[in-house]
Amino acid sequence: MSLWRVFATLFLLAGIAAAADYRAEPAGPPPSEAAALASALAAEGIKVVKPDGGALCSFWFARETGKENEPEQNATWGLPHGTFLGVVRVESRWSDRRGQPIRPGVYTLRLSFFPMNGDHQGVAPQRDFAILSPAEIDKDAAAKPSFDQLMDMSRKASRTPHPLVLSLWKESGPVETGIAAEGESDQVLRTAIGGTPVALIVYGRSDH
């Protein structure tokens, strides 16, 4: 094969790889479905764009998250359980870490820590998760629902015995907003929520 063909092949493969990446784009102001929470949200959202160019979902994160304390055991973020993290609008076929479908619509995101009872062993290295609940029933950004309350709200979104969950963790240093492929299948959005650098798996699945 000639050198030119080698370069042409590498260029084509690089283009295919780039085309397969998820990416982040501006999403504009918060959706009208989250009007009751708009004052607690950042003015500009983040749209997650799929490799085919279609929108997967859009996030509007909280302006502030409140005072942080020492994290719970095996957690990365020392905020109270149930802290409001933002809202997400689902725009096309999507699923959570369990493979449960997330139907198109607008959901709140709240912080939770999975119990240390052995049932969730191997789900993720950390216990931090973002729990999705229907925005129409979760309208108070200042609320701090208990574990059971939050799970009940999220089951109204999943329509199954299990809540809708996204894997989340606090990063140790500043990050630039963007999406990167990690592991075998995960697409990880890094950004800041209330000034805190975080990572959120927006595509990927755990078999646990």
Condensed to tens digits (0 to 9), the pLDDT of residues 52-66 reads 999 999 999 999 999
Residues 113, 79: contact at Cβ < 8 Å? Answer: no
Q: How many whole angstroms separate alpha carbon 198 and alpha carbon 3?
A: 44
Residue 160: what pLDDT? 94
Condensed to tens digits (0 to 9), the pLDDT of residues 161-204 reads 999 999 999 999 999 999 999 988 899 999 999 999 999 999 98
pTM: 0.85
Q: How many whole angstroms separate alpha carbon 46 and alpha carbon 8?
A: 34
Condensed to tens digits (0 to 9), the pLDDT of residues 116-171 reads 544 444 445 778 999 999 999 999 999 999 999 999 999 999 999 999 999 999 99
E strand residue ranges, 146-185: 164-170, 178-182
Condensed to tens digits (0 to 9), the pLDDT of residues 100-117 reads 999 999 999 999 998 754
Q: How many whole angstroms separate alpha carbon 93 and alpha carbon 91?
A: 7
